[in-house]
Structures are given as C-alpha cells and as structure tokens.
Structure 1
Amino acid sequence: MFRHQKNLQFEVKVDNPDPMLARQIQEVLGGQFGEMTVMMQYLFQGFNCRGEEKYKDMLMDIGTEEIGHVEMLCSLISQLLDGASPEDQAKAAEDPAMAAIMGGINPQHLLVSGLGGLPSNSNGVPWNGSYIVASGNLLADMRSNLHAETQGRLQVSRLYHMTKDEGVRATFRKMLARDRYHQYQWMAAIQELEEKNGVVVPASFPPEAELESQEEAYKFWSLSEGEESGKGPWANGSAPDGTGDFVYVSDPEPKGQVPKPKIPADHLHHDLGKHLVKN
C-alpha cells in the first residue's frame, strides 16, 4: 500500500514568480526523462519483479521516492506561477515587446491546470507510458534506469543555469544530489548482476548458442567515411566478457543475397503487374 505524507521530501520555496521557468521545468516533470517517467518505470519494474526480494524492495523504495519528486516539482511550478494571473498577463501583453517575450509561456498553466503543474513536457506534449522500460530482465532494466537518471540529471543541471532564483536552485541542488545517488545505485546493481550472470543481455542466450554466427560478434564494420573509429577499444580490444577479440574490418563486403520479392496479386492494386483487375 501507499501512504501520503503531507511534508515534502525537501523544502521547495521560490524567491519570485517566473511563468517562463515554470514552463521549462515541465520538461523534468512530464518529459521523456522527467520524474514521471522514472517514477512509473521503477514502480512497474518493482510491481513485476520476481526473484530476490532486495531488487524488488530497492525498486519500490526509489519508485516511491520519485512520487515525492513529482509532488516537489508540482509545488515548484505552482509557486513559480503564483501571481501570474490572466489579468496581469493580458495587461503586460499590451506592450508589443512584452507580448513577444511572453509568447513562450505555457497557456495551459492558465487554461488547463489553473496555475499548477501538468503531466506534460515543456511544449505541452502529454506524458505517455511508452517512455518507460519494464522488461522483466533485471540487468536490462537497471541499465535503462541508469540511462534515465543520467538524462534526467543532465536536464536538471541545464535548468539550474537557466535561473538565478536561489530558492529554485536550492531545490534543484537537492534533486541533483539524489539523482547522483540514484546513478551510483544503478551502477552498483548493474555491477552485481554482471558479476553474477555476465555482461551480455540476456545471459540465458550464451555466445555458444549463436553457433556459426559467433564470429560476427567481434567484427567492427567500418561503414562511414574515414577510419578514425578503428582507433577505439571497441574495434581492437577484447570483448568485455572475455570470449574473443575485436577485429576492425576497414572495407566490409555484404554477405547476403539481393532480395527479389515476388510481385503480389493484381487485386492488391500495386500497379506492378501486366494486367489490370477487371472485376
């Protein structure tokens, strides 16, 4: 079960209203890598987790924390919108220069949410469930979690430098610190899972099961102009799982056939056949 506590995880207090910043913060609330995404991703991974309880508990702990982060951002957005009434905006917009500046304000903060946060990104695109990854494979999911926290922290870092409001920055600093910890957490989980089962997902389909195709797992095909990519460890080093060494192929040749698909029946109206359908 879930229980809501009225206190926020950390204090949220802004110095001045800033409707434009409120719109920008929508990205880290309801965007692809926003708090709504990691909240739902961790919770669904936790709901569906099977096996060792410590992984399920960790996912549920962090997923529940992210619910609190969603509430923190909603509170932050609401405070930034306080004082930005429709009347004030209409009056300010009478000045052509001010109207141009205010063109970036999210009108849905007035029309839809009544000066509150929205489940959408900074351009008003609604959040959707296709953003989340919950595959049932722990290592695959933990890697997705690390990616999500990496992108989310990157975006909050950029927002931090888009405002001088110390109250907003203080909130961001707390979120940046927590996102840094979450990266540590997922890296630790990934390392543990890799030590148990290997670095390739899924571990249940080992290299030897690839049979005659196994050699293709070590070739770097150079398929763009220049050969600089051949200088990297991905082209000349050893595979992370120790099963083989990489080979740089500077001028790869195709190994497959030229497709020769059959022409469909005339009644599909593809205009490729010799005769037209009469009936």
Structure 2
Amino acid sequence: MFRHTSLLQFEAKPEKPDALYARKLQELIGGAYGEMTVTMQYLFQGWNCRVEGKYKDLIMDTATEEIGHVEMLATMVARLLEGAPATTMAEAVKDPATAAILGGMDPQQAIISGGGATPSDSQGYPWNGRYVIASGNLLADFRANVAAEAQGRLQTARLYNMTDDPGVKAMLQFNLARDTVHQRQWLAAIEELKADGLESDIAPTALFDEENQEHNNTIWHLSDGPDGNKGGWTTGPEGIEYLMDPQALGGPGVAPPPDPALFATAEPSLGEPGGATSVTSEAGKTKK
C-alpha cells in the first residue's frame, strides 16, 4: 500500500518562470537516468526481493523516496512553465515551429499536459520501461543502482550550473545530496552482501568450475592504446594477465545459407557443400 502525503520532501519554488529550463529538467524526470527510472527500478527490485528484512526495507524506502522526487521535479516544471503555455500558444497561431523555439518549452508541455511536466526526457522522448534493471540478484542490482545514481547526480550537477535561479538551485542542492547518500548506501549494501555470505565479488556466485578456466583471468589487448597493462588490475595476488598479442580462437564468421523463402541475398556457392546451387527452371528441370 502506498499513501500520498500532500507535502513535498523538499521545496520546489523557482524565483521566476523559465520555460526553457523546464524542458531541460524533463531529463531528470523521464530520461534514462531520471527519477522515474530509479523509482521503477527500486520498486521492482523490492517487489522481486527474496530476502526479507534489511535489504528489502532499504530498497523499498529508497523507491518510495524516489516517487517523491518525481513529484518535486514535476511541481518545479509546472511552476517554471507558469504563464508560458498561453503566450507560447498565442505565438503558435502565427508560426508553431518558431513559437516552440522561442518559447523554449517542449510543445507537448502545452498541448498535452496543459502547462505541466510530461513522463518524457528533455527531447520529449517518452520514458521507457527498458531503462529499468531488476534482475533479482542483489549484487548485480545494487551495482546497477550505484551507476544509476552516479549518472543521475552527474546530470543534476550539469543542470545545476545551467541556472541562476536560487529556488531551482536550492532544490537541486537537495537532490545532489540525496544522490550522494544513495550512492553511498548501495556501495555499503554491496559490502554487506559479501559480509553476510550472500554474494561475493562476482555475480552470480555460480558456475566457476564450469567456466573455461583458461580464459577467466586474461585481458586481451585489442586496441591501439599501449598502456592498458600498466594498470593496477595486472598486479597483486588477484592480478589479471594482459595478453599483448592475443590470437583469434575461432574460424571465419560465415553465416549459413539463407532460407530461400526469405529472399536474402547470398552467394550461389552457399547453396550446396560442393559449391553449386540447385535451381529449378520454369520447365521444372533441375540444373546446376
């Protein structure tokens, strides 16, 4: 059960409207690393979690907070758009494309959402559920969460430097702080998974005896850059061997003959092992 409280987690009041910045903020709502993504990511991770107790509670606490972040940003967008839809749409009567550019807003914010936020990114692309990572493996998921919070904080930091509005900056300062602590909590939770014996460094903790033992401790030098083998990952007890001149282990990557019904273009020699392709003429005679 979820219960909505009619109070924002932190204030979202700009000093003045700014339709262009409202469009930029849409990235933090519906972008690949926006608040809608982490909201749904954490919710599904929590709902799918098979470890009752501290891990599930942490996931659900954070998921519910992220719902509030979507609300904060949507409120800020609506307030930044104050007065913009009417003026922009008045100009749109003359020239819709020019009005959208001069107004700076996503036209859908006026046409579809009536001067409010939309579930989309800064280019108006709809939010996509494929952004969500919820595998059921807590180690893999928590690592994905660290990355999501890092990308979200990076984008928030960039947007922070794109505005001088003190009200907007105050809200983003709060968001930056929450992205910081969320990165820290997922990193700490990863270490606790290991301490509790639930996971180790590699996800998943399985099939180590089944994997190809010859190739589980090598890095292949496959770029022009010469310094990859100078990193710390090649030293110490867990050092990974750097193969400076790796060789291909497989044969030519030749696709099999296509199904004739698919009408894929192919060389005639692909039809038969001997090299010739059987063709049936209109007279029904088979020739080579």
1:190-239 alpha-carbon deviations (Å, 9 max, x no partner): 1112332310000133x3332xx2231111111111311111123x224x
Aligned twin of 1:237: 235
Deviates most, 44-53 or 155-164 = 44-53
Q: Which residue identity is paired with 1:250?
A: M
**Distance (Å, rounded) in 2 between the aligned partners of 1:159 and 1:223:** 37
What corresponds to 1:7 in structure 2?
A: 7
The answer as to whether partners of 1:146 and 1:187 remain within 8 angstroms in 2 is yes
Separation in 1 of the partners of 2:31 and 2:244? 40
Equivalent residues of 1:24, 1:122 under 8 A apart: yes
Q: Does 1:254 align with 2:248?
A: yes
Alignment check: 8 A CA contact 1:93 1:102 kept: no
How many angstroms apart in 2 are the aligned matches of 1:138 and 1:266?
46
- Encode CA deviations 1:63-89: one digit per residue, 9 max, x unaligned: 001111110001000000012133356
- Distance change in 2, residues 1:247/1:3 (3 Å): same
In structure 2, the CA distance between the partners of 1:86 and 1:189, relative to structure 1 (3 Å rule), is same
1:158 corresponds to: 158
Size of the aligned set, in residue pairs, is 269
Higher helix share: 1
Q: Give the TM-score taking structure 1 as reference length.
A: 0.89
Per mean C-alpha deviation after superposition, the further-off stretch among 99-108 and 141-150 is 99-108
SS in 1 for 2:242: strand
Q: Does 1:140 align with 2:140?
A: yes
For 1:272 and 1:84, the matched residues in 2 are separated by 61
Distance 1:262 1:48, change over 3 A: closer
2:189 corresponds in structure 1 to: 189
Distance 1:209 1:172, change over 3 A: same
CA RMSD of aligned residues (A): 2.3
Q: Secondary structure at the match of 2:149?
A: helix
Q: Is the 8 A contact 1:267 1:277 kept in 2?
A: no
Map Cα deviations across residues 164-214 of structure 1 (whole Å, 9 max, x no partner).
000000000111111111111101001112332310000133x3332xx22
Alignment check: 8 A CA contact 1:266 1:276 kept: no
Corresponding residue for residue 201 of structure 2: 199
Determine the structure 2 residue equivalent to 1:64. Answer: 64
1:78 aligns with 2:72: no
CA drift at 1:58: 0.8
> Percent identity of the aligned residues?
49
Which residue of structure 2 aligns with residue 54 of structure 1? 54
Letter in 2 for 1:155: Q
- Tell me the secondary structure at the aligned position of residue 13 of structure 1: coil
- Greater CA deviation, 52-61 or 65-74? 52-61
Provide the C-alpha distance between the structure 1 equivalents of 2:172 and 2:256, rounded to a whole number of angstroms: 59
Q: Which residue, out of 264, 267, 272, partners 1:272?
A: 267
For the 8 Å contact 1:29–1:119, the answer to whether it is kept is yes
Q: Which amino acid aligns with 1:204?
A: A
Q: How does 1:19-58 map to 2 (within 5 A)?
A: 19-58=19-58
Structure 1 residue runs of 5 or longer lacking an equivalent are none
Once the 2 structures are TM-superposed, how far is the Cα of residue 104 of structure 1 from its aligned partner?
A: 3.9
Distance 2:259 2:142 in 1: 48
Please, which runs of 5 or more residues in structure 2 have no aligned partner? 269-276, 283-288
Q: 1:68 to 1:253 in 2, by over 3 A?
A: same
